[in-house]
Amino acid sequence: MAQVSGGSTAQTGRTVYVGNLPADAAVDELLSQVRFGPIDTVKVLPEKNCAFISFLDPTTAAAFHSDALMRKIQLHGQELKIGWGKPSAVPINVVMAVQQNGATRNVYLGNLEETVTEQSLRDDLSRYGPIDQVKIVRDKNIGFVHFLSIATAIKVVQTLATEPAWAGRRVHYGKDRCAYVPKNQHQQQQHNMAAAAMAATAAGYVGFSNTLAGISMDPSQVQPGNRTVYLGNIHPETTLEEICNTIRGGILQQIRYIQDKHIAFVTFVDSNAAVAFYHTATFQGIALHNRRLKVGWGKHSGPPSPGIAMVVQAGGSRNVYIGQIDDMETFDEARIRQDFSQYGEIELVNLLKEKNCAFVNFTNIANSIKAIEGIKQNEEYSKFKIAYGKDRCANAPRNAPWAQLFSPTISTGANAGPRSAPAQMTGFSQSMMGNPSSGFHSAGFNPNPGPEDFSNIVVTAEGGSTHASPEMPPPEA
């Protein structure tokens, strides 16, 4: 089910402005360029040659905004202008329909008669509101009508069921075509292998390390799909950075440290990573300042929002890379922390003066997305390279069985060749595996990440192989 941002009072930046639309461009041509969803509403203003696309959540909007800028999308040979619309809230009736009924702007129609055509459906249902696209699957006698808003689709689903002409036909919601992810993007072999290995290890499957094998698994300890792990009994002098230094095995979506209560909640992007970390931390233990942490499950997180998933799939993380800094004295840690703190809470700022670059680790991927977008508008940072770095929490623990499945190719010096595209990953990649500096033991991980630490790595790909370099970010970023 789609993630919805807030209720009727939440004002969020979920609307993307698309300008310079050709006068003869149809709305379905525009939406065919949108690879993110679900969409809440689309408003086209032909007299101003622009449109406003409102998504259900701001993270999805930010993902599309970034993608559109990088791809420089065109219609009829004209490059479209991309910007932001005014913040708005998702109407409460839409929020309820999405959460309770899985509502989308796509209406599914079943048991259609053979005489029904796409044009007849368009003529009949356009009375409810403007239509994006109509498709009929003739061999199954079903159809899909994409409207320009979820609110319109809700009205159609509620009303058609009462009309005699539609008696005996199934009317429900289909999937928003803009939220569709092609298989070649969605199924990433490296991620699946690593996640499968981690899940197998956590369950004690044959073929992997015996670290967790033979342990009787209490059903109460298993929470399928939950991505949030609870950490308690944290020493009052413990810093957020120290906590993150103990976490390995997957990209973090968010970490919340409530210091006065001595607890933290760690939300991974991938539920498999959460399961593996939970069981490793439970059975091997984690200690900070000579105090063993309590480990449990937090409130069930549900799946990540489509926007977060797409950003991570494209190489995004909570870590922002700043490259080609020409004055490391001016742009020191304090200055960078001050400039980036407007986008959200920062866990760690790491400078590599010898590489003229820096890394800003936020506590939430949503904040790094905002930072990537916002800092590019800052004139003082316009000359620097801004991209996503790698989350060091995604490193595999030392002796982790899944680390042995990979032979990483690391390029950090003069032998680093030209980069062509960002390596796609949803939590794991070749370059994350087998880092000898990331050993997991009762005292935690390396608390002082240096140049060799993977928090300082930017993902790129070359000739089908994954490379990592602290010197050069993905060219698209």
3-state secondary structure of 84: strand
Q: Are 43 and 129 in contact (CB under 8 A)?
A: no
Residue type, 231: L
Distance CA 107, CA 408 (A): 46
The answer to whether 417 and 455 are in contact (CB under 8 A) is no
Quick check: bond before 38 cis, omega within 30?
A: yes
What's the chain's average pLDDT? 77
pTM over 0.85: no
DSSP letter at 168?
T
Nearest 10 degrees: Cα torsion 63, 66, 71, 77: 100
User: Per the structure block, which two tokens stand in for 84?
Assistant: 């932001």
Judged on CB neighbours under 10 Å (0-12, 13-18, 19+), 328 is middle
> How far is it, in rounded angstroms, from Cα 62 to Cα 189?
26
For each of the domains in the chain, give its residue range(s) and CATH number, in order of start.
Answer: 15-93 (3.30.70.330), 100-179 (3.30.70.330), 186-297 (3.30.70.330), 306-469 (3.30.70.330)
pLDDT of residue 2: 61
Which tens digits make up the pLDDT trace of 395-433? 877 544 333 333 232 222 332 332 233 333 333 333 333
Q: What is the pLDDT along the chain (477 residues), one digit of tens a residue?
A: 565 654 433 345 899 999 999 999 999 999 999 988 899 999 999 999 999 999 998 878 888 888 888 888 999 999 999 999 998 989 989 999 998 899 999 999 999 999 999 999 999 999 999 999 999 999 999 999 999 999 999 999 999 989 998 988 999 999 999 986 554 444 333 333 333 334 333 333 322 233 333 333 444 455 778 999 999 999 999 999 999 999 998 999 999 999 999 999 999 998 888 988 888 888 788 999 999 999 999 999 888 888 888 888 888 999 999 999 999 999 999 999 999 999 999 999 999 999 999 999 999 999 999 999 899 889 999 999 999 999 999 987 754 433 333 323 222 233 233 223 333 333 333 333 333 223 223 233 333 333 334 333 343 333 333 333 333 333 332
pLDDT at 52: 98
CA distance 74 to 450: 42
* Residue 283: alpha-carbon gap to chain centroid: 30
Contact criterion met (CB below 8 Å) for 469 and 457: yes
DSSP structural state of residue 178: G
User: How many H-runs (helices) and E-runs (strands) does the chain carry?
Assistant: 12, 22
Question: Using an 8 Å Cβ cutoff, are 269 and 427 in contact?
Answer: yes
Residue type for 279, please? Answer: H
Return the structure tokens found at 387.
């991209």
Helix axes 271-283 and 189-203, enclosed angle (nearest 10) = 30
Which of 47, 39, 40, 41 shows the shortest CA–CA distance to 19? 47
Structure tokens of 240? Answer: 């957020």
Helix (H, G, I), strand (E, B) or coil at 341: helix
